Structure 1
């Protein structure tokens, strides 16, 4: 039976002279980084109506523009923001190489973290961060937002219930025209692997994390990638990965240059299959031999709605109402996968993941 669910309309933000929202909020959230993703987080947290916001950005012109646009106070440095003593939680939307150092500094001040993906570009300082978070008792969520999507969550529940039998294979195919969605891709972090750029660290990492959530951690992989189409950069825009999730076989085929925007994640099981379609937020099932996919549910939403759901989930988490959508441990596991893929491409060999 077809079930259609519509995400609740977003609450509009109200710009006021003192910064933050025009309604009282419990939490004071510091957004670190005023790039496109930082601005999106600022806008979407503001739309929840549950918190006060402030911005930390080192680039003066960008800081002034975004702070004025959303009517929030701003800081030129993290030290300045921490000295204010106002913030109980922070969103780390700076480039990936700086995630861990910023997170450790904030954790030392008892600040809860929404840490953008990936956790980092290497394992340097990552285990230390995990230990410090455990000792501080602070909350951390890693920004792999696919785990919070209603259709994918429902599909996972159906797969894990045993309705289709044990999973045996997972297949991901995805592609989009990246320049259409991010025209400035040549001038931002994406152009530099050392800043977390390229399809492996910036794109397929989302799919890998969601797959691990569905069928378990990746234990072994081999990968290939190439720069094929995108002009003005040399980073990979096409990636193929073959994975093992213990007994489950996986494959991922992703590009950032095809004309249509599409994403499909299919879990094949002993007695049927389930498929998630990102566009339209739908999931399907198939159990009859020779039959067709049957629509189970759809959840139409705009892109900001995903991040508003993530913001509300994070606020619920720091209020003790729910577990993290993506824990720090799960984010670290996916970082290990990212690193293994990059190594596999370089060495042309299979890689085991501890």
Structure 2
């Protein structure tokens, strides 16, 4: 291993962990090591990505006792995020943690204090913030040109079984492992909504299983939310044929729209006028992860901030918890941000 390059440790090499590993190799700013408890997968990943045996570990304990790392990606299932995060922070290792931050607020305040005391950078993988369509509408909104934001609509869906054929055999099938559409998909857009409109104060969620085979967790979610008086709606399903994301922001002086499927973001200011468009190229979703992971490494190197930090992720976790409770009780919920 080159003496002048630090090492990043990827913990877990399921589909998301493997994507992080692949993207970090493409970035090339760190040597990449990984932990994977499943022997067959561990050998396969090491072979396919050409990772030396000295950088391959079955457990985090063995990794920490065998090598030095300045940062790590936590891509294990959500119930293990906070315990792994504490172990890494205690070792002085900066953390990019996959979403959601956890399943509940238990232990989050202690982790926040530990990370602050040790000077640990904590980023959380709400990767849609790095998507060019979301970045485009946020830049337009922040410019002030369109006035105050009044209302937001998030409409999205995808054929999950096509993109992740093993969905029923992994964490998605189990709420207790971070699965279901609230914790796995719509949470991304609760987080984006927070960045655009500020924190949610009240919400109501209707969530059901409608069509996705071989699971019982919700595959369809509709949430109405108040972001301090800004009205918002979030709707998604995980079975429709089209892979689509459309985000519309209605402001005092016009409207903004992000459209993933059209590869553009748009704006309009004249009543019954014409939409104006700015297109972007995005041929590979790895590009979005590369933006996110580069920002994390920049923050570790003292050159910037992560795309989504710990405080934002704690707020989104609070929204997840309230949304799940609303779906269970069929009632409006106030969102508490005390952890």
The normalised TM-score by structure 2 is: 0.95
1:5 corresponding residue in structure 2? none
Show the 5 A alignment for 1:1-354: 26-72=5-51, 73-354=55-336
Aligned-pair Cα RMSD in Å? 1.3
Structure 2 gaps of 5+ residues are none
Q: What's the CA shift for 1:37? A: 0.4
- Contact conserved, 2:158 with 2:244, CA < 8 A, in 1? yes
Question: Which shows bigger deviation, 287-296 or 342-351?
Answer: 287-296
- Contact conserved, 2:200 with 2:228, CA < 8 A, in 1? yes
Q: What's the CA shift for 1:24? A: 7.4
Could you tell me how far apart the structure 2 residues matched to 1:219 and 1:319 are?
35
Could you tell me how far apart the structure 2 residues matched to 1:88 and 1:123 are?
27
Question: Which shows bigger deviation, 147-156 or 64-73?
Answer: 147-156
Q: What's the CA shift for 1:163? A: 0.8
The ranges of structure 1 where at least 4 consecutive aligned residues each deviate by more than 3 angstroms after the TM superposition are: none
Question: Which shows bigger deviation, 145-154 or 232-241?
Answer: 145-154
Could you tell me how far apart the structure 2 residues matched to 1:201 and 1:108 are?
27
Could you tell me how far apart the structure 2 residues matched to 1:259 and 1:152 are?
23
- Contact conserved, 2:292 with 2:306, CA < 8 A, in 1? no
Structure 1 gaps of 5+ residues are 1-17
The normalised TM-score by structure 1 is: 0.91
Q: Aligned with 2:103: secondary structure?
A: coil
Q: Aligned with 1:223: secondary structure?
A: strand
- The total of aligned residue pairs comes to 333
Q: Aligned with 1:186: secondary structure?
A: helix
Q: What's the CA shift for 1:27? A: 2.5
Could you tell me how far apart the structure 1 residues matched to 2:260 and 2:79 are?
29
